Amino acid sequence: MEFVTVRQPVRSYVIRAGRLTTAQRRALDSLWPRFGLDLGEQPVDWNRVFGRRAPRFVEVGFGNGEALLTLAEAHPERDYVGIDVHPPGVGRLLAGLALKGLENVRLFRANAVEVFGKCFVDESLDMVYVWFPDPWPKKRHQKRRLIQRDFVSLVAQKLVPGGRLHLATDWEDYADQMLETGDAVEGLLNSAGQGCFLQGRGGRPVTHFERRGERLGHAVWDLIFQKPEKAVCRRTEFQRESLEGLAQG
């Protein structure tokens, strides 16, 4: 009998034992059926989920949900999908969505690699945000970093022509890895030019976490990689506006 060893993928996260507040636990129990989605084996019919066809944005690792909540409230014409695994942050965001009456957000509590592989068809996303992912600073742990060539290539497949991947970190060596990885992935162009970081935030909201880092003197590096448009593809209004304001921060 021949035995086959199946290698489990290296995960980019560890679910830490954070304390859930009463409000967060209540939100998880009562609001997950309204905003939450479970990982399945078939791509999600997003037009059915949201009840409309709209530009689609994804944030990977939304933390406490501050940036995603800000964007969803500011842009009701867009649909947002958030991916995170930490219950306190998910509960906090659920409570915020209900408080503000927002219906243009859905959430996954799952591995981002699996969500991208199973839940989105190719060329279906306008923008993917990965802001301040876990830097895994110890050398022996850096294989756990999310921004690796395989993941960035997968994201590129899911972007529409003209779609973008926006990365940000406050760890310099991770910023260098992000830059090198994105520049090496076929089918993505660095909007700041190969080997260069973005000047400004590229429209990224400033969160409480980032303000605290700035007070401590932490620098932040942003990158935006864009999937080239096909010659026959017309730019959407969102893409035209994005290109005009890309370098303005």
Query: Catalytic annotation on 134?
Result: yes
Strand-pair partners of 149 = none
- 159-to-24, 94, 117, 137 alpha-carbon distances in Å: 33, 26, 13, 29
Q: Which helix (H) or strand (E) holds 95?
A: helix 87-100
Instruction: Give the separation between CA 199 and CA 247, rounded to whole angstroms.
Output: 7
The phi, psi pair for 79, rounded to 5°, reads -105, 135
Residue 189 has φ and ψ, to the nearest 5°, of -120, 135
84, 134, 173, 222: the active-site residue? 134
What is the Cα–Cα distance from 52 to 225, expressed in whole angstroms?
27
Question: Which DSSP state fits 127?
Answer: E
- Helix (H/G/I), strand (E/B), else coil: 164: strand
Q: Which residues are catalytically annotated?
A: 134
